[in-house]
Amino acid sequence: MTHKLAFIGFGVVGQGLAEILYSKRQSLKDAEGFESKIVAISDFKKGSLYHPDGLDFEALLEAVQDGGTLDSYPKADGLITGWDSLETIRKSNADTVIEVSYTDVSTGQPAIDHCRAAFESGKNVVMTNKGPVALAYQELSALAKKHGVSWGFEGTVMSGTPALRMPKLTLAGNDITEIRGILNGTTNFMLMRMDEGASYEAALKEAQALGYAEADPTSDVEGLDARYKIVILAQHVMGMPLTVEQVECTGISQLTPELIEQARMEGRRWKLIATAKKENGIITAKVAAEKVPLDDPLASVSGALNAITYQTDLLGPVTLSGAGAGKAETGFSLLIDLLTIARARETVQS
């Protein structure tokens, strides 16, 4: 059965997914039996399109990549334009909403309202916006369950690297008592460059030029981005309620060349580490720069890479490392959420 998709937002990440769905359409069909069509796109800057029979992948990508909007998409019988995001979610015939709207992470909006509208109209959601998961995990999980739909958000932590799915699926049965991770690529890249002798300002400029940093890099350098991610991990992977305000948070802006040199002399390396620890049923979490000994697997994670060590009762420490950002990498996170939904649907039907 062809999976019908509605994109809410069509920026870099949304286009990343669309490109993968198009370029891998044959192998996804052959290997996974997965077929999809985009029935709707609603982007507050680029415009909106809906056709119940599906839009043309190539024409969509061409319109956006040439003109920056959907205005030049060819008009066809049955094509509806101008629907806003909530109309698109409620009125389209999509099975799944790809929620990649421009969202304020501190309020989670408008993405939280998009999830509510989708679940209430019987649609699955896959998303990369961190705000809704960090701020409204309990409410949205319960709402999705009540309406019998799925909610995927692998890309909120470490893009497509399976930071959420791996512990939930392949470490199931373990008690995960501690999570320690390098969850922000910008600061990890900056620390590497500062270790190599670059100034804080030059390292930040370089990270921005390479597209790692958030639009407002304060969120990266003060540890706020990592704080949202550790809240998601604590709730989803450790099953512990945790709010953003409960996480002590400092960043890397206080690190001077002297402190970096001192760590080197001690055989250690500064890393921005997000930690969540469960003891006697109580969770504590923090984000802070730490001098990590060189034999810790996190010490050798360099550049914009991310990594997490899960402390498990049956296996001991398990460390996962991989990409934390990027167009294809985050586009892939949405793909694996979609494939998971499609596989579950197959199982139910067979």
Residue 22's Cβ-count burial label (10 Å; 0-12, 13-18, 19+) is: middle
Q: Which residue stretch of 6-14, 136-144, 179-187, 250-258 sits at the interface with ligand HSE (rule: CB under 6 A)?
A: 179-187
CB 97 within 8 A of CB 118: yes
Contact between 184 and ligand HSE (CB under 6 A)? Answer: yes
Contact between 154 and ligand HSE (CB under 6 A)? Answer: no
Report in angstroms the alpha-carbon separations of 87 from 6, 91, 93, 125, 230: 11, 6, 11, 15, 33
Among positions 167, 181, 185, 223, the unique one binding ligand HSE when judged by CB under 6 A = 185
Contact between 212 and ligand HSE (CB under 6 A)? Answer: yes
CB of 229 to ligand HSE, least distance (A): 7
The region, left, alpha or beta by phi > 0 then psi within -120 to 50, assigned to residue 326 is left
**Buried b or exposed e, range 146-178, using 16+ CB within 10 angstroms:** eeebbbbbbbbbbbbbbbbbbbeeebeebebee
Q: Which residue stretch of 26-34, 89-97, 213-221, 235-243 sits at the interface with ligand HSE (rule: CB under 6 A)?
A: 213-221
Token pair of 208, please? Answer: 């921005």
CB 87 within 8 A of CB 81: no
- Which of 4, 46, 130, 229 is catalytic? The answer is 229
Token pair of 79, please? Answer: 């094509």
Contact between 213 and ligand HSE (CB under 6 A)? Answer: yes
Contact between 331 and ligand HSE (CB under 6 A)? Answer: no
d(CA 194, CA 171): 36
CB of 60 to ligand HSE, least distance (A): 25
Q: Is 229 a catalytic residue?
A: yes
Contact between 225 and ligand HSE (CB under 6 A)? Answer: yes
Among positions 324, 331, 334, 338, the unique one binding ligand HSE when judged by CB under 6 A = 324
Token pair of 65, please? Answer: 């990549």
Contact between 252 and ligand HSE (CB under 6 A)? Answer: no
Contact between 220 and ligand HSE (CB under 6 A)? Answer: yes
Size of the site for ligand HSE (CB under 6 A): 10
Nearer to ligand HSE, 47 or 324 (CB): 324
Q: Which residue stretch of 36-44, 111-119, 184-192, 339-347 sits at the interface with ligand HSE (rule: CB under 6 A)?
A: 184-192
Token pair of 284, please? Answer: 């504590």
Q: Which residue stretch of 17-25, 144-152, 196-204, 208-216 sits at the interface with ligand HSE (rule: CB under 6 A)?
A: 208-216
The one-letter amino acid at 25: R
CB of 329 to ligand HSE, least distance (A): 9
**Buried b or exposed e, range 32-53, using 16+ CB within 10 angstroms:** eebebbbbbbbbeebbbbbbee
CB of 200 to ligand HSE, least distance (A): 16
Contact between 47 and ligand HSE (CB under 6 A)? Answer: no
Catalytic residue numbers read: 229
Q: Which stretches of the chain bind ligand HSE, using CB under 6 A?
A: 184-186, 212-214, 220, 225, 324-325
